[in-house]
Structure 1
Amino acid sequence: MSVPEVIPIRHEPDYRTSTIGRWQGGQFFASVTAAFPEGWRGDDWQSQKRWCAVLHRFDGASRHLDSRIQFTGTTADDEKKAIDAARLLLAQWLNALPEQRYQDIAIAPFEVRFEGALFGLVVEEDASEGDNGVWAEFHPDGLGFNAPWDGCYDT
């Protein structure tokens, strides 16, 4: 089964998709997440694990408009402080969205790179899995969407 052009994502209050929905200009996916630079290898993961606030906006036709991403600190510096700063920043961004409301969304795959890290809803494929080896992964949040494409995700 192939990946649909527009992938549904279910709003789940108080969980990983609690800050998704619609606004006057279309749809949004917002989160506080940690990102590693692409291709990073090594033992010093704490200094590479960067916490950030992320707000992706989409038009009414589910196409990516823009992304607002800001790193707030690393796990090595002070993880709690970095997460709290990202939450505060994200709340400000969400409050500024006109007519913002939380609900299910459906968006097209997209990719954004920011300071060496991958963000977006990216189509992935593992040929060794046959028909089950195609899915869409929300990076860096680690949410996997697959058939039956009902908005539910795996982590």
Structure 2
Amino acid sequence: MSVPEVIPVRHEPEYRTSTIGQWEGGQFFASVTAAFPEDWSGDDWQAHKRWCAVLHRFDAGGRHIGSRIEFTGTSAEGEEQAVAAARELLGEWLDALPMRRYQDIAIAPFEVRFEGALFGLVLEEEDDEGDEDDGTEGLSAELYPDGLGFYAPWDGSYDT
């Protein structure tokens, strides 16, 4: 089974995909998440763990049309405050989407880089040695930086 052109994402209230759905302009995937710069390495992870509000927008067919991303602070500066600020900001953005409704979506892979961090739904090949040969080894899509993995049978469910 190959990766579909648009990947279904199941809406799960009270969980990681509680803020996805459709609006007058198409579809959206919104979240509060932490991001590390791609080139970061070292021990001072709290200073590099940046919390942010993220709103990805897609047309009705699932193609990426834009992202709004804003960092609200690092874990070193105070994780609770940074997360609270990101949630408040995301709430404002979601409230501004005309005819918003939370539901399942289907979106095409995309990548956005913001201040050195990767955001997007990225196709990946994985080494699944030892698994049964069902024709799907190595095919997946990962939502960055949220850490949601999508796999065959491509039914909208995900792993964290």
How far the C-alpha of 1:2 sits from its partner, in A, is 2.0
Counterpart residue number, 1:135: 140
Distance 1:61 1:79 in 2: 36
Correspondence 1:10-21 to 2 at 5 A: 10-21=10-21
Distance 2:137 2:103 in 1: 28
The Cα RMSD (Å) is 1.1
Does the residue aligned with 1:132 lie in a helix, a strand or coil?
coil
Correspondence 1:16-35 to 2 at 5 A: 16-35=16-35
User: Could you state the TM-score of these two structures normalised by the residue count of structure 2?
Assistant: 0.94
Distance 2:150 2:50 in 1: 24
Counterpart residue number, 1:154: 159
Counterpart residue number, 1:123: 123
Ranges of 4+ aligned residues in structure 1 off by more than 3 Å:
127-131
Distance 2:43 2:138 in 1: 30
Matched, 1:65 2:65: yes
Residue-by-residue CA offset, 1:91-142 (whole Å, 9 max, x unaligned): 0000000000000000000000000000000001025547321100000000
Counterpart residue number, 2:6: 6
Counterpart residue number, 1:45: 45
Aligned residue pairs, count: 155
Distance 1:134 1:101 in 2: 30
How far the C-alpha of 1:24 sits from its partner, in A, is 0.2
Correspondence 1:91-110 to 2 at 5 A: 91-110=91-110
Does the residue aligned with 2:67 lie in a helix, a strand or coil?
strand
Higher percent of residues as helix: 1
Does the residue aligned with 2:141 lie in a helix, a strand or coil?
strand
User: Could you state the TM-score of these two structures normalised by the residue count of structure 1?
Assistant: 0.97
With 126-135 and 55-64 compared, the bigger mean Cα shift is at 126-135
Distance 1:128 1:107 in 2: 25
